[in-house]
Structure 1
Amino acid sequence: MTKGLIVFSLLLFQLVAMAQEDAWVYLIDKENIAQALANPASILSEKAIDRKNRHGIAIDERDVPVNENYISQIKAAPGIAVLAKSKWMNALHVRGSQSDIENLQDNFSFVESIEFADRNKNASKGEEVKQKRKTETVLTAFNYGKALNQIEMINGDQLHLSDYTGTGVTIAVLDGGFPNVNTMAALQRLRDAGNLKGAYDFVNRDDDVYTNTAGNHGTLVLSTMAAYLEGQYVGTAPDASYYLFTTEDGTSENTVEESYWVEAAERADSLGVDVINSSLGYGKTYDNPNYAYSPSDFNGNTTFVSRGANIAFEKGLLIVNSAGNSGNNGVGAPADSPGVLSIGAVDANGNYASFSSVGNSFQPSQKPDVVAQGQNSVVINENDAIGPANGTSFSSPILAGGIACLWQALPNKTNVELMQLIRESASQFENPDNFLGYGIPNLEVALSSALEITGLSNETPIKMFPNPATNELFFSFNKNATFYVDVFDVYGKHVLAFILTDSKFKVNIASLTNGVYFVNLQSSNESRTFKLIKR
């Protein structure tokens, strides 16, 4: 009899568990919006405010937190568990029975709408879901060891030579777990420099991302950017600052992970993060098959996570996301978003990796955007062992680290401008396809393009090239113009002077030591200063 009761209880438990649904509950308003916007320091860090001001990003209602009183009332509702929240969407991710979730809209006037993860249940109700919407002169020459090929492929090593190693740029890594990041020898340099800024596990709701994990994926991803082992391995952004956010639940596949991702992106924005690397993809497979999105839903604006990514993009964050490992089955979310720089994979020779997700006509922009080495990428695991790994999970952070170095060199560029520079620098920009997108980026070319002088004024367009330069520097401008040129080092010391008097002019700069300089051009009616990298 006891055995029968046990079996019956297990069956009953399974039936109850199966009846649980996931949904997003959208709220009608927020409190104290005007007060919060008048005092942005009350809702954002100073770094976040500075970044937004620098790039002309408005601080708006979406930056105001979700009403805590509303959250408390929803939490107290019968049968409801609140798993995540999104200030950008003004929404809560809840779990409960369908009837208990539907009762929320009947019982609380502040609930504007409900969107079930199982969209069949939305259709059955006929609901319309509303969608809320330093420069240095010291050369940095690393011995990259086994990581050499993957950084040389994107010319990230050339940025390092100009001492652009990520200093001052903050990267948030959204991933699974990060075992041993707090103790690994390969990340000792990161920790000693104070560049491990913080961590949070959105799945378990605590700060322990180092042991609350079902795997080591986050550690592997981080290593491609931040690791440093003298003479053995150097990541693509060894001097950047990092936040580590666990948003992936290794025990299940559920839409709540989309909500964790959006929460983490919101946290990153409030902390003043510049770049998000997300080696994650959602929407194709869930434990509950009714939650899965259809192919046409990967249009950059349907999945919850892609809608969150779109807002993050509007907020000025530069999101680098793996295109996915689904081959012809297509890119996942949020890689489908036009506001996300989606990264496919190639092998060590730059050839398409067969597992890399292919773009299609559902995406409103070219996907993938670009590619980096994802087949036989070299990573470091939680035991400090260096070895190969396959996946766009690694091509994404390899490039994300390089982008952080590029942003260090071009601090006044916006996320939009940087993304376009990267696309334009890529190997097949003129003829993109759905396998490699615009191709393999060349970060040195992206930097050079951004530093080119494209015009002192509408009257006297002028171009300086190449930049970076080695022995010779060329100028091209209209005939009959005269410019007096002075070159200063970063300490303000005058190191070179010459006069431009012809339509094309060549200057020998071999005498300059390697580093960063400022070139001031002055005519009778205008003056302007530009940055030059001498190598």
Structure 2
Amino acid sequence: MEKNNYFSILYCCCFWLLTSVASAQNAQQYLVLFSDKANSTYNVATPRQFLSERAIQRRNRQSISITTQDLPVNISYLNAIKQTGAKVGFTSRWFNGALVEANDTQLQQILSLPYVKGIEGNTPLQKRNTANRATRQKAKFEAFDTAPDFGLAYMQNNMIGVDKMHEQGFRGEGMLIAILDAGYSSVNTLPVFSYLFNENKIVGTYDFVNNKSFVYEGSSHGTAVLSCLAAQQTSRLVGTAPNASYLLLRTEDTENESLLEEVNWLIAAEYADSLGVDLINSSLGYTEFDNPATNHQYKDFDGKTTIAARAAALAAAKGIICTISAGNEGNSDWKYISTPADADSVLSVGAVDAYQSYVVFTSIGPSADGRVKPDVAAMGQSVAVANAFGNYTTTSGTSFASPILCGMVAGFWQANPQMKAQEVIRVIQQSGSTYTKPTPQLGYGVPHFERAMQLAQPITFEGKFWAFPNPISNQIKIAIAQFDAQNSYSFELVNTLGQTVLSGSITHKLQTIPCENLQNGLYFLSIKDNTQQQVFKMIKD
């Protein structure tokens, strides 16, 4: 890990420090967008100026180009904004913009600059309104139950095959996971996390709400989330990826609910990208805000409208796997997923109970544009976690299903380093318990490490028989080398439940088997003659 280089990259890529302050009382915050990155002091040919070596390697492994979108914002544009007297904060490489605090006069001056395209959403980002905040926070960050139940830690891991994953030696080694959350109270003092510090597994921290590096205070929501991933006290509580490294980032303002938090999410995701994280877990979601004029509507959840969803999709485009909680609004009037769970190319995670049944609080899909959401599900009811007091307790929510799954995905990717992020996501979806019949409640269902490992094994066509294409479309072609008409050939297609769905004789050297009515999922194709049998793993997609 390039620990010594992390914070220099933070200052280079994420924000521009300054001293100017908007003096007028009506100053508000905006995300100012620029039209270009012309005359930048940075160049895509020298990415080490703004990306870590690890970030560059992640792109190279997945054949992802470094483009002008990755370049930091033009510093001269920021200086021009400062000259209006406005205050400039964090900047966004991906959106080519900057957080600006300005009064009406300053804003008009900024908007008149020739390289300023406008402001995101044509609205201020934050309007403080604390009415009913206590009630909302109680619903969003649910209190822990008082009675510990250590056995549930095994159940939540075993459900998705983490027990088998750990037995095979995949515990997240070499993987870097960023957590975007509300705070990590007492993480630096709790025994369950001590090994993280003893082994330098916490590679960085930052609070994007208060603009400081210390995150071990305030909300304990992130503490519980981290424990689902990183807890390591044998026979008491073990997370799904205890040997991974972690980047702890605070983006959630527990005192206010505003679009500014989505911008914080964007900036934090960019920071995580620049440091080379492999996965991002976010147990946050946004639907309504203190300023009702900025509330999202269901039609906005198409994966390309909200700030957070666009940010998550961009993170995915950089080769990062994002696991995102679907939301806890299933039994409310809203009922649908929150953002950024609607983003394309991410794993949005719903919740099931110990019997893999849908839990009614889980936000449902589909996305506004009809995609399957949530993507998958993991245990989210009565989940074993560590709290800020050092106790092991149980709690419920998709907030905890997401990190449980994230750790399994990290271990799976560790076991299959040749795969690209989107290939991993696809296999995790295909390993889901309801992949052939996705539902609005659980999407593709509960995935499993061993099923995913079976799907990830390369298909070989050595020997007497061949079967293609794979994945299957509307037909399977079976080819036989040195076909002998006097021999007897047959095939059998079996699903993962052991049921035969197709079978018959093979009478030609190249025979086509129609299967347009075959449901999506994993199948095993057995081809045999009088002396030999071969089995092929086939996917109908």
TM-score w.r.t. length of structure 2: 0.75
Q: Match of 1:485?
A: none
Instruction: Please list the CA deviations of residues 242-279 of structure 1 after superposition, one character each: whole Å capped at 9, or x if unmatched.
Output: 10011111111111111111111111111110000000
Question: What letter matches 1:66 in structure 2?
Answer: V
Which of 289, 292, 298 is 2:292 aligned to? 289
Which of 499, 503, 506 is 2:532 aligned to? 503
CA gap 1:338/1:116 in 2 versus in 1, 3 angstroms: closer
Q: Number of aligned pairs? A: 432
CA gap 1:354/1:75 in 2 versus in 1, 3 angstroms: farther
Q: Match of 1:112?
A: 117
Quick check: 305-314 or 395-404, which moved more?
305-314
Q: Match of 1:318?
A: 321
Say what the alpha-carbon RMSD is for the aligned residues: 2.7
Question: Is the CA contact (8 Å cut-off) linking 2:308 and 2:340 kept in structure 1?
Answer: yes
Q: How does 1:239-278 map to 2 (within 5 A)?
A: 239-278=243-282
The alpha-carbon deviation at position 343 of structure 1 amounts to 0.4
CA gap 1:230/1:53 in 2 versus in 1, 3 angstroms: same
Q: Match of 1:511?
A: none
Instruction: Please list the CA deviations of residues 26-68 of structure 1 after superposition, one character each: whole Å capped at 9, or x if unmatched.
Output: 1122255595211121221111111110111111111111122
Instruction: Please list the CA deviations of residues 221-243 of structure 1 after superposition, one character each: whole Å capped at 9, or x if unmatched.
Output: 00000011121010000011110
Which of 93, 101, 108 is 2:107 aligned to? 101
Q: Is residue 50 of structure 2 the alignment partner of residue 46 of structure 1?
A: no
Question: Is the CA contact (8 Å cut-off) linking 1:22 and 1:116 kept in structure 2?
Answer: no
CA gap 1:91/1:185 in 2 versus in 1, 3 angstroms: same
SS of alignment partner, residue 329 of structure 1: coil
Instruction: Please list the CA deviations of residues 106-159 of structure 1 after superposition, one character each: whole Å capped at 9, or x if unmatched.
Output: 1x2221222346499xxxxxxxxxxxxxxxxxxxxxxx8540010111112111
Q: Is residue 235 of structure 2 the alignment partner of residue 235 of structure 1?
A: no
TM-score w.r.t. length of structure 1: 0.76
Instruction: Please list the CA deviations of residues 363-396 of structure 1 after superposition, one character each: whole Å capped at 9, or x if unmatched.
Output: 4421000111111111101222111111110000
Q: How does 1:70-469 map to 2 (within 5 A)?
A: 70-78=77-85, 80-106=86-112, 108-116=113-121, 118=123, 145-211=151-217, 213=218, 215-282=219-286, 284-327=287-330, 328-360=334-366, 362-455=368-461, 460=466
Question: Is the CA contact (8 Å cut-off) linking 1:334 and 1:340 kept in structure 2?
Answer: no
Quick check: 91-100 or 339-348, which moved more?
91-100
CA distance in 2, matches of 1:458, 1:280: 53
Quick check: 354-363 or 37-46, which moved more?
354-363
CA distance in 1, matches of 2:80, 2:397: 43
CA gap 1:458/1:324 in 2 versus in 1, 3 angstroms: farther
Question: What letter matches 2:115 in structure 1?
Answer: F
CA gap 1:478/1:224 in 2 versus in 1, 3 angstroms: farther
The alpha-carbon deviation at position 99 of structure 1 amounts to 5.0
Structure 1: gaps of 5 or more residues: 1-15, 121-143, 463-475, 482-500, 507-535
SS of alignment partner, residue 92 of structure 1: strand
SS of alignment partner, residue 58 of structure 1: coil
CA distance in 1, matches of 2:336, 2:387: 29
CA gap 1:383/1:458 in 2 versus in 1, 3 angstroms: farther
The alpha-carbon deviation at position 25 of structure 1 amounts to 1.1
Question: Is the CA contact (8 Å cut-off) linking 2:385 and 2:392 kept in structure 1?
Answer: yes
SS of alignment partner, residue 378 of structure 2: strand
Question: Is the CA contact (8 Å cut-off) linking 2:465 and 2:480 kept in structure 1?
Answer: no
Quick check: 111-120 or 383-392, which moved more?
111-120
CA distance in 1, matches of 2:365, 2:349: 11
CA distance in 1, matches of 2:462, 2:181: 45
Question: What letter matches 2:63 in structure 1?
Answer: G
CA distance in 2, matches of 1:324, 1:174: 15
CA gap 1:479/1:352 in 2 versus in 1, 3 angstroms: same
CA distance in 1, matches of 2:233, 2:90: 38
CA gap 1:440/1:39 in 2 versus in 1, 3 angstroms: same
The alpha-carbon deviation at position 294 of structure 1 amounts to 1.9
SS of alignment partner, residue 192 of structure 2: helix
SS of alignment partner, residue 43 of structure 2: helix
Structure 2: gaps of 5 or more residues: 1-23, 126-149, 469-477, 484-529, 536-541
SS of alignment partner, residue 44 of structure 2: helix
